[in-house]
Amino acid sequence: MRRFHLTPRRIAFVVAATLGFGTAAGFAATLTVGSWHLWAGSQTLTKATCPTLSGTTSTTDTYVVQATPTTSFGSSTTMLVKSNSGSQDWSFVRFDLSSCGIPTTGGADSATLTLYVTTAPGTSRTLTVTPVLSTWSGTLTWNTAQTLTYGSSATTTIVTGTTTGAKTATVTVDVDSLIKNPSANYGWRISDSGSGNATTTFATAENGTASHQPQLSINYEK
Amino acid sequence: MNTLSKTLGFLVTVAATFAACAAAATLAVASTSLSAGNAAVTSCGVSSLTATRNVNNSGNVTQVNVGGIPTACSGETLSVALVSSANASLGSGTATIGSCTTTCSATITSFGATVAATSLAKYSFSVTGT
């Protein structure tokens, strides 16, 4: 039998042949990946702030009184929220967002409604802020307010405290919806479903003190 | 004979070693290459995507809606990463692109984390499928 000698040359051949096979096997395995679809991209967002909305140019507000169900108060300088069962008052406020120029593909990052209490109740009240889903104007009355459509749940609440001053409510989710569907901008109803007989008075857009008028602040992306 | 046995044993060992290397190389290539230099990887016709998002009243993203996806992408997987201004991932999610007749859309509602809309600066998209 012929003897086989393991020389450096033979070792080099074996290594080269084995490495070549192994590499080829690796590439063959990756070919199956080539049958996939693949796409990647990105979209950069721009952040902006809408100048605070206030005043009669951008605000519509009023209140309705159950005790006088056919009377409207659209030109009043104050608006009332009253809790007394059977003799309630509701306030309504909405803002025209068109001056902000937010595209319907944008969205609210944050939105804050500010109302100024001009006459506070004797004990602190928790008022309910509910989105209004159908149209209304300054001629709204208690009776016509009963025909409006309201959100199935409140957006947030406002705690009045017992002193005058600005009160804020976060309304981001509603403003985000308004940005995407501007034609459905009907604002909010503020009501007091608590027990007892308490009245909270807010300044309206017609109020002579500009800083007391309802305000809406919006930070958004587009 | 003794030398031949030793040599064959050595060759078997060397072959096994490189077979293992080949497997390792396959894993490395397959996990990183995809489109790199391989003409067989194509898209399903997407040239760009845009998204809108919804938020809850706390300002956190509740869903991302992606529209304008070519019908050829139906059934494929859309992945969206929510990215901060510092280019960090805030969360991500996937959805299967449903069947459609004109253009497709997809909605993602879970991102693995709570993402504040104020922190969101960019969407990163990918569409993958066979």
- Does B57 share its domain with B35? no
Q: Read off the amino acid at residue A55.
A: G
Is there a contact between A175 and A218 (Cβ–Cβ < 8 Å)? yes
CB-CB neighbours of A162 under 10 Å:
11
Please report residues of A whose CB lies closer than 8 A to that of B123. Answer: 42-43, 45
Closest CA to A33 of B35, B75, B94: B35
The gap between the terminal CA atoms of chain B, to the nearest Å, is 54
The answer to whether A173 contacts B57, with C-beta atoms less than 8 Å apart, is yes
Measured CA distances, A29 to A111, A140, B130 (Å)? 54, 73, 17
Does B30 share its domain with B61? Answer: no
Alpha carbon of A8: minimum distance to chain B alpha carbons (Å)? 12
pLDDT, average across residues B49-78? 95
* 8-state DSSP, A58: T
- Tally of structural domains, chain B: 2
Per DSSP, A16 falls in state H
Q: Give the other-Cβ count within 10 Å of A110's Cβ.
A: 21
Interface of B with A in 23-62 (CB under 8 A): 23, 25-26, 29-30, 33-35, 38-44, 46, 48-59
Same domain, B86 and B67: yes
Are both B62 and B85 inside the same structural domain? yes
Asked if B14 and B64 sit in the same domain, the reply is: no
Q: At what angle do helices B2-32 and A8-30 cross, to 10 degrees?
A: 30
A and B: number of Cβ contacts within 8 A: 157
CA distance B27 to B21: 10
* B10 in the same domain as B57: no
CATH number for position B108: 2.60.40
Q: What is the ipTM of this complex?
A: 0.79
Phi, psi of A197 (to 5 degrees): -125, 100
Q: Hey, is A139 helix, strand or coil?
A: coil
Per-residue pLDDT of chain A (222 residues; tens, 9 = 90+): 455 555 555 544 444 444 333 333 333 333 345 557 788 999 999 999 999 999 999 999 999 999 999 999 999 999 999 998 899 999 999 999 999 999 999 999 999 999 999 999 999 999 999 999 999 999 999 999 999 999 999 999 999 999 999 999 999 999 999 999 999 999 999 999 999 999 999 999 999 999 999 999 999 999
Determine whether the interchain pair B14/A30 forms a contact, defined as Cβ–Cβ distance below 8 Å.
Answer: no
B118 and B85, same structural domain?
Answer: yes
Q: Are residues B59 and B100 in the same domain?
A: yes
Give the torsion through C-alpha atoms of A82, A85, A88, A90, to 10 deg: 80
- List Cβ neighbours of B95 (8 Å cut-off, separation of 6 or more): B77, B78, B80, B106, B107, B108
- Look at strands B122-129 and B77-83 and give their pairing: antiparallel
Residue B115 and residue B88 share a domain:
yes
Query: Residue A211 class from Cβ within 10 Å (0-12 exposed, 13-18 middle, 19+ buried)?
Result: exposed
The pLDDT assigned to B130 comes to 75
Local structure of residue A114 (DSSP, 8 states): E
Q: Give ∠ CA A11-A16-A18 in degrees, rounded to 5.
A: 95
**B9: nearest CA in chain A?**
A6
Is residue B55 domain-shared with residue B81, that is, in the same domain? yes
Between A38 and B118, the more confident residue is B118
Whether residue B35 sits in one domain with residue B7: yes
Calpha distance A13→A6 (Å, rounded): 11
Residues B90 and B30 in one domain: no
E-only strand ranges, chain A? 37-44, 47-53, 59-65, 78-82, 89-95, 107-119, 126-131, 156-159, 165-170, 188-191, 199-203, 215-221
pLDDT of residue A128: 98
pLDDT digits (tens, 9 = 90+) for A142-201: 999 999 999 999 999 999 999 999 999 999 999 999 999 999 999 999 999 999 999 999
Question: Which residues does chain A have within 8 Å of residue B30's beta carbon, measured at their own beta carbons?
Answer: 29-30, 33
Set of chain B residues whose Cβ sits within 8 Å of the Cβ of A26: 22-23, 25-26, 29
Q: Which domain holds residue B57?
A: 50-128
Whole-angstrom Cα distance, residue B81 to residue B87? 11
Q: Is the dihedral of CA B74, A179, A111, B56 positive or negative?
A: negative
Could you tell me the pTM of the whole model? 0.77
What per-residue confidence (pLDDT) applies to A28? 31
Contacts of B128 in chain A (CB under 8 A): 36-39
